[in-house]
Amino acid sequence: MRLKGKKAIITGAATGIGLETARRFAEEGAQVVLSDIDSAGVAAAAGEITGAIAIAADVTDQGQVDALIAGAIEGLGGLDIFVNNAGIPMLGGVESLAEADWDREMDVNLKSIYRTGRAVWPHFKAQGGGVILNTASIAGLRGSAGQASYGAAKAGVINLTRCMAIDGAQVPIRVNCICPGFIETPMVLAYLEGQDDPVASRAEVDALHPLGGIGRPGDIAAGFVYLASDEASWITGTALTIDGGLTAGI
């Protein structure tokens, strides 16, 4: 068990990548707190994992973030790993995107990592180490039509990860992120279903990935398990791309 005895928080854990990451962490021996703004959803998700704790929180609210971390430390008896997976999609170019939508995207997908990092940093520093993992995206590595705010936020996640890694290296607080390609999550499936021709759109997106088809939440969860484990003790500041080869030729 690669995470035996570790204690972790995973945000955005009611569904998709967050839920699968919580499952995999638990399978690898970690005690986990699942968090999400969807209180009923995250309670149901935690109920699927033996010993898991659910704490609903809005990552755009510093008070709720502070309460999440305090509750996790109390409930688990400590904290070693924080996975920032909460995120929302926001489609539109700069000419059509409302300023409120831009701000919301940045608040949830980027500034939340500042908030959680700011809150958990003193704890990790006091105990002499910790791991912070962030969900970025291939949208942060390249330009994409209609993804002005999402792409900008995810690019920010990648560079914030690097900056935090340098700042935390002497503790050490290791900070890494994963850049997924298209993953079969409720968010991606809803996007595809919203297209004029969902079947054709799915086929088009599948074809973007040289390894064949879009990925599964477990593909990303496996990356998080590795980066959280002691096997990755000399890895910090990296953006691990897990995308079925999508960006290999770019």
Cβ-Cβ contacts under 8 Å for 57 (sequence gap 6 or more):
11, 35, 36, 37, 64, 65, 67, 68
The residue from 114, 150, 191, 226 that is catalytic is 150
Q: Decide: helix, strand or coil at residue 111.
A: helix
SS3 116: helix
Measured CA to CA, the distance from residue 46 to residue 178 in angstroms comes to 23
Collapsing DSSP to helix, strand or coil, 35 comes out as strand
Are the CB atoms for 116 and 100 separated by under 8 Å?
no
Rounded CA separation 105/90 (Å): 7
CA–CA separation, 57 vs 35, rounded Å?
Answer: 6
Residue 11 one-letter amino acid:
T
Measured CA to CA, the distance from residue 202 to residue 178 in angstroms comes to: 23
- Cα 228 versus chain centre, distance: 13
How many CB atoms are located within 10 Å of the residue 100 CB?
Answer: 8
Strand-pair partners of 10: 34, 83
Examine the residue annotation and report whether 150 is marked as an active-site residue of this protein: yes
C-beta separation of 156 from 179 below 8 A: no
| Active site residues per annotation | 150
